[in-house]
């Protein structure tokens, strides 16, 4: 496996697939909450574990202000592809998000709010990716991140068996509301062969 993990054609193909998946998941969220969701172009890159932590650190310093990140981690696997989906909230006013989801804003509901948003965005995005790749992903139990630990530090301390991972980063912002989150799909070099086969099939 080369350090680059995928060639330029494969990267462009994956970026286009991620763009479609992002649009479908954003549309689902927009319809559910009756809002307009602002999207950026998906970023596809190859990162080391330290790079992933640095990416999260950069999210933590959004707008020049250090802030606590919160998020949800969920594993996915299917047809020779396995990875983790990290939905990271930064610069989010949870009172605003609670109101959109018609929840009372209290500490007990915060985890439920995060899980519900993850189910909508992460679930729809992964479903669309799997559909375009002609496969099916089984999802693991979601894990709450950042409630009691700093997320970059937490990820830095995890035992990892890979040196490089393919990371697809997608940003979602709800217009006229202080709700902003990043979805990171992390697929390590040990679990990427199935994805490369699917991309090569689409390119052929």
**What does the H/E/C string look like for 99-113?**
HHCCCCCCHHHHHHH
d(CA 59, CA 103): 26
d(CA 66, CA 192): 34
With respect to residue 31, please indicate whether it lies within any of the assigned structural domains.
yes
21, 38, 113, 190 from 15: Cα distances, Å: 10, 18, 29, 20
User: Which domain covers residue 143, as residue numbers?
Assistant: 8-203
What is the pLDDT at residue 44?
92
d(CA 171, CA 167): 13
CATH number of the domain within which 174 lies = 3.40.1550.10
With respect to residue 192, please indicate whether it lies within any of the assigned structural domains.
yes
Highest mean pLDDT among 3-7, 36-40, 114-118: 36-40
65-121 pLDDT, tens digit each: 556 678 888 999 998 899 999 888 887 888 888 888 888 766 567 788 888 888 888
137-182 pLDDT, tens digit each: 999 888 887 655 566 665 655 666 778 889 999 999 998 888 888 9
What is the pLDDT at residue 2?
39
With respect to residue 43, please indicate whether it lies within any of the assigned structural domains.
yes
Which pLDDT band holds residue 52 (cuts at 50, 70, 90)?
confident
With respect to residue 68, please indicate whether it lies within any of the assigned structural domains.
yes
- Asked whether the predicted pLDDT for residue 13 surpasses 80, the reply is yes
Residue with the bigger pLDDT between 160 and 191: it is 191
With respect to residue 99, please indicate whether it lies within any of the assigned structural domains.
yes
What is the pLDDT at residue 54?
81
Q: Domain total for the chain?
A: 1
pLDDT (average), residues 20-30: 92
With respect to residue 1, please indicate whether it lies within any of the assigned structural domains.
no
With respect to residue 97, please indicate whether it lies within any of the assigned structural domains.
yes
What is the pLDDT at residue 146?
66
Instruction: Give 2: exposed, middle or buried? Use CB within 10 Å, 0-12, 13-18, 19+.
Output: exposed
Lowest mean pLDDT of 33-37, 132-136, 161-165, name the range: 161-165
d(CA 142, CA 158): 17
With respect to residue 3, please indicate whether it lies within any of the assigned structural domains.
no
């Amino acid at each position: 496996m080369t350090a680059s993990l995928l060639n330029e054609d494969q990267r462009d193909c994956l970026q286009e697939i991620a763009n479609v998946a992002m649009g479908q998941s954003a549309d689902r969220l927009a319809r559910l909450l009756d809002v307009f969701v602002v999207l950026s172009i998906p970023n596809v890159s190859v990162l080391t574990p330290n790079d992933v932590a640095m990416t999260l650190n950069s999210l933590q310093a959004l707008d020049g202000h250090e802030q606590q990140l919160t998020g949800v981690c969920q594993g996915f696997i299917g047809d020779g592809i396995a990875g983790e989906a990290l939905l990271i909230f930064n610069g989010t006013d949870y009172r605003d998000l609670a109101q959109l989801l018609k929840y009372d804003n209290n500490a007990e509901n915060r985890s439920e709010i995060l899980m519900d948003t993850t189910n909508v965005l992460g679930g729809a995005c992964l479903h669309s990716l799997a559909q375009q790749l002609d496969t099916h992903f089984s999802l693991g139990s979601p894990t709450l991140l950042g409630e009691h630990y700093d997320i970059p530090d937490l990820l830095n301390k995890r035992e990892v068996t890979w040196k490089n991972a393919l990371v697809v980063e997608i940003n979602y912002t709800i217009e006229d509301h202080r709700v902003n989150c990043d979805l990171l799909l992390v697929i390590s070099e040990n679990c990427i062969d199935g994805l490369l086969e699917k991309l090569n099939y689409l390119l052929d």
